[in-house]
Structure 1
Amino acid sequence: MKLRPIHMLVLSLFASTASAQSLQVQRPVPYSEDGDIADKIKQECTINEQLADFLQEYAKEKGIAVQFTDGPVDKAASGRVLDLRITNAISMGNAFLGHQKGTTAAGTLYENGQKIASFKARRHSMGGAFAGYKGSCSVLGRTVKVMGQDIAAWLTAPVDGASLGDK
């Protein structure tokens, strides 16, 4: 049976989606040792788990399979590894006065032990619609959700020194 060009196209699309890229990321995403994150955020919110989960969700949509590690990622490991850290989280205001929340993160992508590219990401939120009914952790969760989208998009075409999200 001779394959027509359309059949070859379908087969190539199937082959490319069947062999999705794989990426190792630590879950929960660690807080940077020199970062400025209030203890209250670390104790009451789960933005470090949410960021990993959102990244996995949005990366999957882009054909990237995120595998979690329990401990620090091995930058020298074979394959692709993202060393991701939350560098700052700010929680000012409240539901009555207005939310002013922000999260920043930094990441470096390695492939087979070689640095490919790095980025810094930043997202802010005032809570969006019905902000008066949202708690601080919920609003911070909004920042890492969009940050997960930003990082997943960056992973499709990593640029060294990229600045993702809000400027």
Structure 2
Amino acid sequence: MERKAKNIALLAALMMVAGSASAQAVQVQKPVPYSEDGDIADNIKQECKLDAQLADFIAEYGKDNGIDVAFTDGPVDRAAPRALDVRITNAISMGNAWIGHQKGTTVAGSLYENGEKIASFKARRHSMGGMFAGYKGSCSVLGRTVEAIGEDIASWLKAPVDGANLGD
């Protein structure tokens, strides 16, 4: 009976730790919205799905950095314990596999804790496609930029600095 009580107490303690960890998860909207005043071609928005990829990469690299991400379908609740309000502000797709890729994505975001703005950042990444770029499509190369930005944001979330410029 005493062993059962200890197991129950241990389980309760683990649930409290797990509950507090999930309460500290960073809210991120999925898909990440495009900025209303951003300069992003409609074909990029429709074909490349950078908005969903960015959210997924923030979560993936966040996990690698010990940061839990909780997705929201709509705008994040800035009054939540932790919320990252992030937007894709620019995406450029010039060139192609034959003449060379020139792709870039820019993102801006702010971290809120319990309704208070803690820090903000801007992030920018460019790519020419990397190795075997001639075999990659435009969306694939743009996907490389949002992957790098997702990793940049996840690292920034570990120690947010206001006014940070991430990436290139």
Tell me the TM-score normalised to structure 2 length.
Answer: 0.86
Q: Distance in 2 between matches of 1:144 and 1:116?
A: 23
Equivalenced residue count is 150
**What stretches of structure 1 of length at least 5 have no aligned partner?**
1-14
**Cα distance, 1:146 vs. partner?**
0.6
- The answer to whether structure 1 residue 122 and structure 2 residue 141 are counterparts is no
**Cα distance, 1:37 vs. partner?**
0.3
**Cα distance, 1:128 vs. partner?**
0.2
Q: Stretches of 4+ moved more than 6 A in 1?
A: none
- The answer to whether structure 1 residue 79 and structure 2 residue 81 are counterparts is yes
Q: Counterpart in 1 of 2:148?
A: 146
Q: Counterpart in 1 of 2:30?
A: 27
Q: Distance in 1 between matches of 2:65 and 2:92?
A: 30
Q: Distance in 1 between matches of 2:21 and 2:93?
A: 41
Deviations 1:113-155 (A, max 9, x none): 0000000000000000000000000000000001000000000
Query: Percent identity, aligned pairs only?
Result: 75
**Cα distance, 1:41 vs. partner?**
0.1
RMSD: 1.4
Q: Distance in 2 between matches of 1:19 and 1:143?
A: 30
Q: Counterpart in 1 of 2:109?
A: 107
Q: Distance in 1 between matches of 2:36 and 2:50?
A: 16
One-letter identity of the residue aligned with 2:48: C
Secondary structure of the 1:52 match is helix
Q: Counterpart in 1 of 2:5?
A: none
Tell me the TM-score normalised to structure 1 length.
Answer: 0.87
